[in-house]
Every structure is written in C-alpha cells, then in structure tokens.
C-alpha cells in the first residue's frame, strides 16, 4: 500500500481552500462552514485513527461499547444541529439519537453476530467501521427526514388542522407529509445503490482494493454494507418520523407547533 505523506494531504487540502475562496462570492457563510468542516475532518479522523490503533491492539468489549456510544452521541447532536426547525428541550436531541440507536445498533449486532460471524463478535476491526458506516448514513437520512417533517408541519399547519377538524387522526392528517418525508430520507441511499458500480465505486470497496484485497471479495463486502445501510436508514427514518409526529400532538389531538423553534445555526 502506498503511504501518504503530510505533503500529499496538504495538496488535497488546497482544493478545499480554493473552493472556500471561490464560494465566498456566491455564499460567504458557506466558506466558513466548509473550512470548519475540513478542519474537523482532519482532526477527528486523526484522533480516531490513534484511538483505533490502541483499540485494535487491545480488543475489549467495554472500550468498544464506550466508543460506540460516543459515536451515537455525536451523531445525535449532528442530526439536531442540521434541522432548520427542531424540537425544544431533550426531544430535539432524543428523537434522532434514539432512532439511530434502534436501527443502527440492532442491524450492526445482526451483521456482526449472524452474517459475518467473527469471533469475538465485537472485534473492533469489524464492529467500529461497520457501526460508523451505519450511523453516518442513518444520520443523513434521519436529518433530512426530520428537517422536511418539521418544516412541512410549519408550512402546512392550516391544512393539518383542517383535517383534524374533519375527524382525521394525527396519523391520517400527516399521511401525505409522511410519504414525502420518508422519500426524502431514503433518496441518498437509493441513489447510492442505484449508481454503485456504474457511476461510483463505494468507499469501503475502494478502500479494500487500495489496501490490496481481491476485487471480488471487496465487492461482496460492499454489497453487504449497502444492504445494511439501506435497512438502517429506512428503519431509522421510520422510527424518527413516528416519534416526531407523536411529539407534534398533545393528548387532546391538538397540533403543537410551540414544541418547535427555529435553529439559527442551521442557516449560517
């Protein structure tokens, strides 16, 4: 495997810097977000690389569990931060985090214990990358779905309330919005699966091939990962929509938009 130097990485960083400078003429706030995201990428991946180096050398269920929960906690925060209108209080964080826990952790355990069957099942070389891919893609789907749901509820509040006055339940009043929201949450993974192997070579497969793995074996792992991600994103989005719709109504079946507030950081 060809080793990359700091100079090689700095050449790649020049592209991000050039994009930030160019985007200032179109959307000045985006340049700052781009540079901060690039800096976070470099710092976070460097730190996780050092952590995984130690973890791989000392496989321990407790440390794997703690790192997994940390990843979930950060993912829950990122879901909340990207919503234009989010739920007030702990619900703003809890809906996304609980939905990802239900979907990603369940599917990761299924894949590790049943499909891959490595011994021990929590072996960090498999558990952490798999959970990371599931959380990352599920986070994107849930974030898009919740943002679309809360914004649609705010914009279509009169339509929703009219349906409630006609005797519809909260689920019926949100039926059309739920369909649109669910579609939005699954569009990224559907696009990724539809284009895999023709338009793009997915990340895990590319990484294994660059590391010297046989292409056919790399393809098998990538197919499995894509199917697992689709399940995680789909079930996670379903759970998030379910919890969010319930939160938007009180015990008397009234629409409670006061449980939402605008998130200024989402538009910076």
| pLDDT tens-place string over residues 20-59 | 888 888 877 888 888 999 999 999 889 988 888 888 888 8
Give CA 193 to chain center in angstroms.
16
* Per-position b or e across 101-130, b if 16+ CB within 10 A of its CB: bbbbbebbeebbeeeeeeeeebbbebbbeb
Residue 247 structure tokens: 């939160």
**pLDDT(206) > 80:** no
Least confident of 6-10, 78-82, 132-136, 220-224: 78-82
- Kindly indicate the confidence band of residue 264, based on its pLDDT and cuts at 50, 70 and 90: low
Peptide bond into 23 cis (omega under 30): no
pLDDT > 50? residue 268: no
Beta strand 85-87 pairing with 260-262: antiparallel
* pTM for the full predicted model: 0.79
pLDDT of residue 212: 75
- Answer yes or no: is pLDDT of 220 > 50: yes
pLDDT at residue 209 greater than cutoff 90: no
Q: Which DSSP letter does residue 202 get?
A: -
Measure the CA angle with vertex 182, ends 171 and 67; round to 5°.
Answer: 110
- pLDDT at position 239 is 92
The confidence score (pLDDT) of residue 100 equals 92
Q: Stretch 75-101: mean pLDDT, rounded?
A: 85
Per-residue pLDDT at 1: 62
Q: Identify the sign of the CA torsion 182, 94, 64, 44.
A: positive
Helices (H), strands (E): how many in the chain? 11, 2
Task: Please check the confidence at residue 266 and state whether its pLDDT lies above 60.
Answer: no
Q: Name the average pLDDT for the chain.
A: 85
Say if residue 244's pLDDT is above 70. Answer: yes
Distance (Å, whole) CA 96 – CA 233: 12
More confident residue, 251 or 13: 13
Query: For the chain, percent helix, then strand, then coil, each to nearest 5?
Result: 80, 5, 20
């Amino acid at each position: 495997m060809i080793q990359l130097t700091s100079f090689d990485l700095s050449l790649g960083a020049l592209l991000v810097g050039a994009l930030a400078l160019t985007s200032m003429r179109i959307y000045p706030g985006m340049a700052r977000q781009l540079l901060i995201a690039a800096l976070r990428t470099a710092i976070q991946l460097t730190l996780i690389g050092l952590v995984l180096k130690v973890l791989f050398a000392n496989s321990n269920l407790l440390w794997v569990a703690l790192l997994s929960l940390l990843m979930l906690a950060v993912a829950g925060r990122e879901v909340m931060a990207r919503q234009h209108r989010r739920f007030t209080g702990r619900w703003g964080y809890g809906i996304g985090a609980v939905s990802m826990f239900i979907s990603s952790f369940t599917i990761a355990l299924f894949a590790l214990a049943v499909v891959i069957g490595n011994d021990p099942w929590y072996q960090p070389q498999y558990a952490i990358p798999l959970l990371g891919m599931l959380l990352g893609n599920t986070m994107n789907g849930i974030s898009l779905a919740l943002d679309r749901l809360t914004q649609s509820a705010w914009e279509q509040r009169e339509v929703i309330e009219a349906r409630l006055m006609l005797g519809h339940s909260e689920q019926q009043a949100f039926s059309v919005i739920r369909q649109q929201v669910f579609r939005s949450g699954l569009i990224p993974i559907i696009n990724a699966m539809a284009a895999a192997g023709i338009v793009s070579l997915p990340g895990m497969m590319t990484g294994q091939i660059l590391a010297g793995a046989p292409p056919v074996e790399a393809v098998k792992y990538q197919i499995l990962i894509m199917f697992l991600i689709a399940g995680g994103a789909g079930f996670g989005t379903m759970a998030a929509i379910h919890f969010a719709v319930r939160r938007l109504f009180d015990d008397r079946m009234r629409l409670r938009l006061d449980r939402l507030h605008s998130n200024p950081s989402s538009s910076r």
